[in-house]
Amino acid sequence: MTDQVESILDILHAVYPLADCALEHTTAHELLFATIMSAQTTDVNVNKVTSTLFKKYRSVRDFADADLELFQDEIRSTGFFRNKAKNVIGAANMILNTFKGEVPQSIEELTRLPGVARKTANVVLGTHFGIPAGFVVDTHVKRLSFRLGLTAQTDPVKVEKDLMKIIPQSEWIFAAHAIVLHGRAICDAKKPKCQECALRPVCPQNGV
């Protein structure tokens, strides 16, 4: 681990000691379905939808048996609702029929589910099961990793591989959550608040 990476991690722990996933959930399947619905929208928006959705659909079976058109309408505000509804209901059915009703606990099995790529699988494994199988790379992690000089890649899978090489596995879950929080609060895509940034001393951009 380089001095820069060690410093970044120290700062993130100091600023975001309780960093965690912003998607509200109580079970593995709730987190899985919320993450599927979070594509191209905000976690705040998804939480508004799931605050009522998760009271109606409590089990994997409830989601599997959902009426597609009604479910589409219930999650309409998350955007791309037709595809998301199809994926959530399809994933629920596959969990029942292929995985005996239990959300699988491996990247390979999770990514077999409709609408689930590495990012979603990593969110579920890290946040709910505490399994650091990979590094969650969303738009914030991709942006900050590039700005901090941790990767020269722009493809999320390649960014993840770079981060997994330089950041200790024991830090993967925390660091991903903390970087997301920092991206939302400080390192904005268009107007980063460099003067307020705790990472400025170790950032190659340094306010430029």
Write the pLDDT tens digit of every residue in 160-195. 999 999 999 999 999 999 999 999 999 999 999 999
Structure confidence at residue 4 as a pLDDT band (50, 70, 90): very high
Per-residue pLDDT of 134-160, as tens digits, reads 999 999 999 999 999 999 999 999 999
pLDDT of residue 153: 97
What pLDDT, on a 0 to 100 scale, did the predictor assign at position 205?
86
Q: Which pLDDT band holds residue 46 (cuts at 50, 70, 90)? A: very high
Backbone phi and psi for residue 43, each to the nearest 5 degrees, phi listed first = -65, -35
Q: Which domains does the chain have, with CATH numbers?
A: 3-19+135-202 (1.10.1670.10), 28-128 (1.10.340.30)
pLDDT mean over 84-111? 98
Sign of CA dihedral 163, 169, 175, 180: positive
Residues near 20 by Cβ (< 8 Å), separated by ≥ 6?
Answer: 127, 177
Residue 9: HSE in the Cβ half-sphere, 13 Å Cα cutoff:
18
pTM of structure: 0.94
Report the percent of the chain where pLDDT is more than 90. Answer: 98
Name the pLDDT band for 68 (thresholds 50, 70, 90).
very high
Just list the catalytic residues: 119, 138
DSSP state for residue 59 in the 8-state scheme: S
pLDDT at 207 over 60: no
Mean predicted lDDT score pLDDT of the chain: 97
Q: Evaluate if residue 36 carries a pLDDT over 90.
A: yes
User: Is the pLDDT reported for residue 208 higher than 90?
Assistant: no
In contact, 122 and 134? CB cutoff 8 Å: yes
pLDDT at 41 over 80: yes
| pLDDT band at residue 1 under the 50/70/90 scheme | confident
Residue with tokens 């268009």: 190
Query: Is a pLDDT exceeding 90 seen at residue 24?
Result: yes
Q: Are 59 and 8 in contact (CB under 8 A)?
A: no
Within the chain, where are the H helices? 3-15, 28-37, 43-56, 60-64, 68-74, 81-98, 107-110, 118-123, 139-147, 156-166, 172-185
- The candidate with the shortest Cα–Cα distance to 83, out of 45, 114, 48, 121, is 114
Average pLDDT estimate for 12-16: 98
Q: Span 109-133, mean pLDDT?
A: 98
Interatomic CA distance for residues 44 and 38, integer angstroms: 9
